[in-house]
Chain A
């Protein structure tokens, strides 16, 4: 990835001078920082020595831990530094008025005062400082990578990274990083810089999609996923908005023999029984049907008075009907006997003279010995 010259400087521009602190405080803080760095360096050195130098067990004699010696030396130096600091502070308070007089002696022209020289040197440095820093930056851009590379060549980076990762709570760190970043903007910038079409096509060509899908489906609880999706979707509204239900129904009905499906698949008797069990048919008929009108129409259609007249007049009694039937039978017998006596081979032609009163198809067979 190309880098701009500005980004190559390890030492950043420090032209903007920070707010100046008191000299005494700066000295104190510097001394403290120095001792802190020295302590850390000794700690690292001692730990490194403890890990690298093979310790030979001694038979006798007291053990003198190096860390305690180091702490003793540092404690002694720290005490001396504190004492020096206090002496310097006291001396500064005492010598400050005198030093002020030395730097700005009275009755001496300003240009001849030592303070003026100090001011000139300071201003000269302030003017030259940006250029000096820029030069240092350029130097760092060329020399520091080599130095870092040389330094890293002496370091087991993987081990260092492992040590760092052991000491870092990555979750908290990542959460902090993500919270500081504009993830959307970064994602958009990344996507704009990528040729997604080529990447996707390459991925698709190099991937066994069937196997990938198969493995994915095998790992997924498809039922649960489907249930989750269905919970998130309003399928009814979706179908109503996006599907031409009338066209779907029409196409389906064109390909279906609905009558045969209903007849084959549905227990129509059960359906009718269930429907009738829930319906008070009698009440419905009483409410919806003009029974008196139906009765009147039927009576008018079948001519009920004529039926009554016929039934009561034509066959007055069982005795009369029996007499008639016996007469018919006697006619048959007599006719058959006479025909036999006359050696008549052909049956008597007693053709039907009157129109039959009912359909011939429904007529019962003639009594034994058809009337001749």
Chain B
């Protein structure tokens, strides 16, 4: 699976290499499959992003379910005799969903640049410079996405595969199958 970057560079030499070349440059290794390298770094389409959001939705639902189970368990431990399953209202459920979604998005984009759904689909959220979002950018984009999730589908008609959030915040969701991207060349084009 792993491929050695064949780009020309200083060939590591044994023995005297260290004396002639103070810092031998190790060859870069690309773990991305050969057939997927052509579109790495390009903005993703709506299908991939939708699937990633579905996965994220399931994650949030799972988190809420776990929270609900924990709440039930705590209630049962506190008063077993009068225990009954709590029935939160729709508004409360919606608020909890939004909060969890907001926190989940913020933490994911600010730390790794991708949620679990993005990771499964090989996506990454970057800013206008192709870099990972900062905490402020992640908070704003997470809030925007939690409030207006339908904004994603502006990418269907956008000529640059940008959602409403991307257009407003000058962010991009790109194909990136690598685990981490340590150095990113600022080659971002002018946001459209």
Contact = CB atoms under 8 A, between A and B. Distances in A.
A365 B35 CA distance: 8
Contacts of A364: 34-35, 37-38
B160 A348 contact: yes
B137 interface: no
A338 B156 contact: yes
Contact of A310 (B2, B36, B161): B2
A277 interface: no
A346 B2 CA distance: 36
Contacts of A370: 39
B38 A310 contact: no
B3 A354 contact: no
B14 interface: yes
B177 A353 contact: no
The number of chain B residues touching the other chain, given as a range, is 35 or more
B120 interface: yes
B37 A330 contact: no
B159 A331 contact: no
A371 interface: yes
Interface in A289-323: 293-294, 297-298, 300-303, 306-307, 309-311, 313-315, 320-321, 323
Contacts of B40: 352, 354, 356-357
B7 A358 contact: yes
Contacts of B36: 321, 324-325, 328
A359 B30 CA distance: 11
B172 A344 contact: no
Interface in B136-192: 156-157, 159-161, 172, 174-179, 181, 183-185, 187-189, 192
Contact of B37 (A298, A313, A353, A356): A356
B107 interface: no
Contact of A355 (B6, B121, B156, B187): B187
A350 interface: yes
A310 B29 contact: yes
A355 B42 contact: no
A28 interface: no
Interface string B21-53: 000101101111111111111111111100100
B4 A355 contact: no
A126 to B, nearest CB: 116
B179 A314 contact: yes
A345 to B, nearest CB: 11
A334 interface: yes
B1 interface: yes
B45 A334 contact: yes
A352 B187 CA distance: 8
A323 B120 contact: yes
A363 interface: yes
Contacts of B41: 352-356
A31 interface: no
Contacts of A294: 14
Contacts of B2: 307, 310-311
A42 B18 CA distance: 122
B67 interface: no
A252 B152 CA distance: 80
A371 B1 contact: no
B12 A350 contact: no
A335 B12 CA distance: 45
A148 B174 CA distance: 142
A352 B6 CA distance: 21
A241 to B, nearest CB: 43
Of A331, A354, A363, chain B has the most CB atoms within 10 Å of the CB of: A354
Given A297-B14, A307-B31, A314 B178 contact: yes
Nearest to A335: B45
B124 to A, nearest CB: 8
A130 B4 CA distance: 129
A366 interface: yes
Contacts of B130: 353-355
Contacts of A339: 159
B37 A344 contact: no
A18 interface: no
Interface of A: 293-294, 297-298, 300-303, 306-307, 309-311, 313-315, 320-321, 323-325, 327-328, 330-332, 334-335, 338-339, 342, 344, 346, 348-359, 362-367, 370-372
Given A323-B51, A328-B39, 17 more contacts: A297-B12, A302-B26, A307-B2, A324-B122, A325-B35, A330-B47, A331-B44, A331-B46, A353-B188, A353-B189, A354-B130, A354-B181, A355-B130, A357-B32, A358-B5, A358-B32, A364-B38
Interface of B: 1-7, 12, 14, 24, 26-27, 29-48, 51, 120-122, 124, 126, 130, 156-157, 159-161, 172, 174-179, 181, 183-185, 187-189, 192
7 contacts: A293-B14, A298-B12, A301-B26, A313-B179, A353-B43, A357-B5, A358-B30
Shortest beta-carbon contacts, A-B, top 9: A331-B45, A310-B31, A354-B41, A327-B48, A330-B47, A355-B185, A352-B41, A301-B26, A366-B38
